[in-house]
């Protein structure tokens, strides 16, 4: 039997109501706990005022809501079906010959629509705000002095010094070893006054210094001179360099492919960025698979009893699934498994499990 449009819209409206209710409630809880944690971290920092901490929490909130969307979808789908089941609406619908798949179609369409809207509309805003949050966190909490960045396929470093700062540019970098190629250093004095320039064939990061090799040094108005090696002080470490490159979550879904090409052109591994892009692409399909998983624990008739236990069991299984997703993502980020497999396998596994159990339920 074909499902009426009015019934489909009714189920869809109920699902969206529960989804946004869960998101608002979880957002309030996340904001509260994140603010408390930030206040604890800045307790001894006079620069971090009350409003600075609140604004940082608000900037981080959209990113955290994005991460909680699969959990919210699971809860919303289970609450929707439990509500329909509790009021015996599912029994009436099934008595007219409507199958489980037809009943779940509005929920799947709603989940996919929310996933697409999150990808094309919410994600760019969330990424921009999260980038601002990380910038404020670096300046207010961590107070990093040296920094690294990727631009145009090459790498830039900035290091404050006693009387100014210097910029270092390199065509390539090996983040695992801290080796640079085709290096240029511009030393600036107070008031951004140019002091000197150094060009080196290569450089290597040591313990508290950059070691430059085959160096040409220019200090106007003196003529250039050459040196086999030269040392520049720095407080950068390999860990700081790797952490300085943009977090995938701070880059919009639409800008990630171009950023991946820039990273790879600079010789930096882009596995985490490619994995994040693939995971974002799989998000709408993952939400549909979560609806299938939620349905297997929410369609048991009330008259059979045990619905509350089954509901709690569904939540536990859902959270176990999300833990497995984190493990698979970690394996993908460490290059233990292919990126596409790490991004898409949670959706495939959830779809297969949910479909198998629903086929059994429908046949029964």
**55 burial type by CB count under 10 A (0-12 exposed, 13-18 middle, 19+ buried):** middle
Q: Which of 97, 84, 86 is nearest to 3 (CA)?
A: 97
Q: Rounded to whole angstroms, what are the CA distances from 81 to 4, 17, 226, 298?
A: 18, 13, 76, 6
Q: Which residues, including other chains, have CB under 8 Å from residue 334's CB and lie 6 or more apart? A: none
Q: Please compute the mean of the pLDDT values over residues 25-36 and round it to a whole number.
A: 93
In 144-180, which positions are buried (b, 16+ CB within 10 angstroms) versus exposed (e)? eebebebeeebbebbbeeeeebbebbbebbebeebbb
- Beginning with the edge strand found earlier in the chain, give each strand of the sheet holding 154-161 in spatial order: 147-151, 154-161, 164-174, 179-188, 194-205, 209-218, 225-233
Indicate the domain borders of the chain: 5-141+265-363, 147-234
284 compared with 298, residue with greater pLDDT: 284
Q: What confidence score (pLDDT) does residue 290 get?
A: 93
Under the banding of pLDDT at 50, 70 and 90, the label for residue 74 is very high
At 215-242, the pLDDT tens digits run 999 988 888 899 999 998 888 777 666 6
Q: What confidence score (pLDDT) does residue 192 get?
A: 78
- Does the pLDDT of residue 37 top 70, yes or no? yes
SS3 content of the chain, % helix, strand, coil (to 5): 65, 20, 20
At 126-153, the pLDDT tens digits run 999 998 888 788 777 655 455 666 665 5
Average pLDDT across the chain, whole number: 84
Dihedral (C-alpha) 276, 280, 282, 288: value to the nearest 10 degrees?
A: 140
Question: What DSSP line would sit under 225-273, residue for residue?
Answer: EEEEEEEEE----HHHHHHHSPPGGGS-TTTHHHHHHHHHHTT---HHH
Under the banding of pLDDT at 50, 70 and 90, the label for residue 61 is very high
């Amino acid at each position: 039997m074909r499902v009426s449009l009015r019934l489909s819209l009714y189920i869809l409206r109920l699902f969206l109501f529960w989804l946004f209710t869960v998101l608002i409630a979880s957002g309030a809880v996340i904001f509260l706990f994140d603010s408390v944690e930030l206040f604890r971290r800045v307790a001894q920092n006079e620069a971090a005022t009350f409003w600075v901490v609140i604004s940082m929490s608000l900037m981080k909130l959209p990113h955290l809501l994005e991460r909680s969307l699969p959990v919210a979808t699971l809860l919303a789908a289970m609450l929707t079906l439990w509500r329909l089941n509790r009021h015996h609406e599912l029994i009436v619908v099934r008595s007219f010959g409507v199958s489980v798949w037809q009943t779940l179609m509005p929920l799947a369409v709603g989940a996919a629509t929310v996933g697409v809207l999150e990808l094309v509309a919410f994600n760019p805003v969330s990424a921009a705000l999260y980038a601002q949050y990380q910038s404020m966190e670096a300046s207010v909490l961590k107070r990093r002095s040296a920094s690294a960045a990727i631009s145009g396929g090459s790498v830039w470093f900035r290091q404050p010094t006693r009387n100014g700062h210097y910029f270092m540019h390199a065509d390539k970098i090996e983040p695992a070893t801290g080796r640079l190629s085709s290096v240029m250093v511009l030393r600036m004095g107070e008031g951004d006054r140019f002091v000197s320039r150094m060009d080196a064939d290569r450089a290597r990061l040591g313990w508290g210094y950059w070691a430059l090799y085959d160096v040409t040094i220019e200090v106007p108005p003196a003529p250039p001179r050459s040196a086999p090696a030269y040392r520049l002080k720095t407080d950068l470490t390999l860990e700081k360099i790797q952490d300085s490159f943009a977090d995938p979550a701070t880059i919009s879904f639409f800008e990630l492919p171009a950023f991946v090409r820039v990273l790879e052109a600079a010789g930096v591994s882009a596995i985490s960025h490619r994995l994040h892009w693939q995971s974002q692409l799989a998000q709408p399909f993952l939400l549909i698979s979560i609806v299938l998983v939620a349905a297997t624990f929410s369609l048991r008739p009330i008259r059979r009893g045990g619905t509350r236990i089954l509901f709690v069991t569904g939540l536990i299984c859902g959270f176990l699934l999300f833990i497995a997703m984190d493990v698979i993502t970690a394996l993908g980020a460490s290059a233990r498994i292919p990126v596409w497999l790490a991004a898409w396998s949670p959706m495939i596994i959830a779809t297969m499990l949910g479909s198998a159990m629903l086929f059994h339920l429908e046949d029964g």
